[in-house]
């Protein structure tokens, strides 16, 4: 197996890094986004986070998934968090968007 240089790895990560655009929400439930980015590592091993399969909404695969669980490339699986993302004003005023943070050698 060929290995890429650190510069090649960084270039690849920068090319395919997710882009997130957030509009500041100055008043709770007003215009804008009630979200703030966070490092995805904070979600691993948390009992309030569930890994769900692609089959139906009740497909619980694991509670408190680890980074290793997600590294298997599970197509169409998703993380489930407490609350209702479609009705954010019914919840606490700040919501978190998990952002994968690229690190060399990871």
Q: What is the reported pTM?
A: 0.56
Whether pLDDT at 6 is above 50: yes
Domain boundaries, the chain: 6-99
The pLDDT tens digits for 28-87 are 777 777 666 777 888 899 998 899 988 886 789 999 999 888 888 888 888 888 777 666
Backbone region of residue 72 per phi and psi (left: phi > 0; alpha: psi in -120 to 50; beta: other values) = alpha
Tokens 């680890």 locate to: 66
24: β partners: 33
């Amino acid at each position: 197996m060929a290995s890429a240089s650190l510069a090649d790895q960084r270039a690849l990560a920068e090319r395919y890094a997710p882009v997130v655009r957030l509009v500041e929400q100055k008043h709770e439930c007003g215009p804008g986004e009630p979200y703030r980015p966070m490092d995805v590592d904070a979600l691993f091993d948390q009992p309030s986070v569930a890994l769900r399969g692609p089959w139906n909404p009740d497909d619980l695969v694991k509670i408190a998934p680890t980074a290793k669980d997600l590294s298997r490339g599970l197509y169409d699986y998703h993380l489930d968090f407490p609350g209702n993302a479609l009705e954010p004003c019914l919840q606490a005023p700040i919501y978190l968007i998990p952002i994968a943070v690229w690190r060399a050698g990871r």
